[in-house]
Amino acid sequence: MKIAFLFPGQGSQSVGMGREFTVASRAAAAVFQEADDALGFPLSRLCFEGPETDLALTANTQPAVLTASVAAAAALAERGVTPQLAAGHSLGEYSALVVAGALRFADAVRLVRRRGEFMQEAVSVGVGAMAALLGVELSVAEEVCAEAAQGEVVGVANINSPGQIVIAGHRGAVERAVRGAAARGGRKSVILPVSAPFHSALMKPAADRLAVELDSVQVLAPRIPVARNVDAGLTTTADEVKPFLVRQVQSPVRWTDCLERLAREGTTAYVEVGPGRVLTGLLKRNLDGTRGLAVEDPASLEKTLAALTLAALTEIPRAERGGGESA
């Protein structure tokens, strides 16, 4: 089998995430301890106990989701399951790069905490907004954003699946785009409860500050290819890591293209690794007939191991198992 790990981004967090893994897996527990040591405060307690209001703060959410995701991957590795490819949605790209060996975990957890701070500080609260446009194709979303701008910033932020596009920018422009999508036959549009217009041109100050932080971080060539959010290309060298992480902050997350790239690379099993199951749902909407597995706690880990074992057996040619006809 060719396994691809998919790592979730901000919004997948929940109080209690990762706690059961720290009891069941020494490797996972070590990840949470390393995060606490790297940040200088008990991030693990925030993940396990909350409060939810603190966990939802961008500067806390980003290192928390990264840590829970890398811990889940560590628990999988402990059981002998490692990926041949990886991708992550927005913040999740850092998790993918850590598991691929391109970033040290301690560096990554500090980086994403700063990334969260930079993104939050780039735009004053209330100035920006994000909205999900449902039932609208990408070309229509781009058209309504162009019409709604009127001197402000608004554009596509996430291409999650056909018919599910997220936009971001100045609040007024986003609201005009929402009305424009409805006039074009959009099924539903929803202003999202987020604190900043992520993955929009308004994030340039955050990207510039992140570039400075990245300058002091050592990166290595990933052991496995990582599909990039910015262009769905594969990061395979150390030189590609930093520039694309900087660009990612203010560029659309091309998740549909990432999944299609993984499919073209011959992926036969997709495993969402970390809290929540948002990416598993998006997988079904993007790749017809494809179902993903999810690992967010020890129980789902056992189910995934059983499913992967069964899938591996069914991929063995019948002739190799005995009783099959030779062609």
Residues with catalytic roles: 90, 199
In angstroms, the CA 218 to CA 238 distance is: 9
Q: Which of 281, 249, 253 is nearest to 12 (CA)?
A: 281
Write the DSSP assignment of 110-134 as a string of letters.
HHHHHHHHHHHHHS-TTTEEEEEEE
Q: 266 Cβ partners below 8 Å, 6+ apart?
A: 2
Q: Can you read off the two tokens belonging to residue 257? A: 């293209």
Measure the N-to-C terminal CA separation of the chain; round to a whole number of Å. 22
Q: Where are the alpha helices (DSSP H) in the chain?
A: 19-24, 26-39, 43-49, 52-55, 58-78, 92-99, 105-122, 138-149, 171-183, 204-215, 241-248, 255-264, 278-286, 298-315, 318-321
238 near 206, Cβ under 8 Å? no
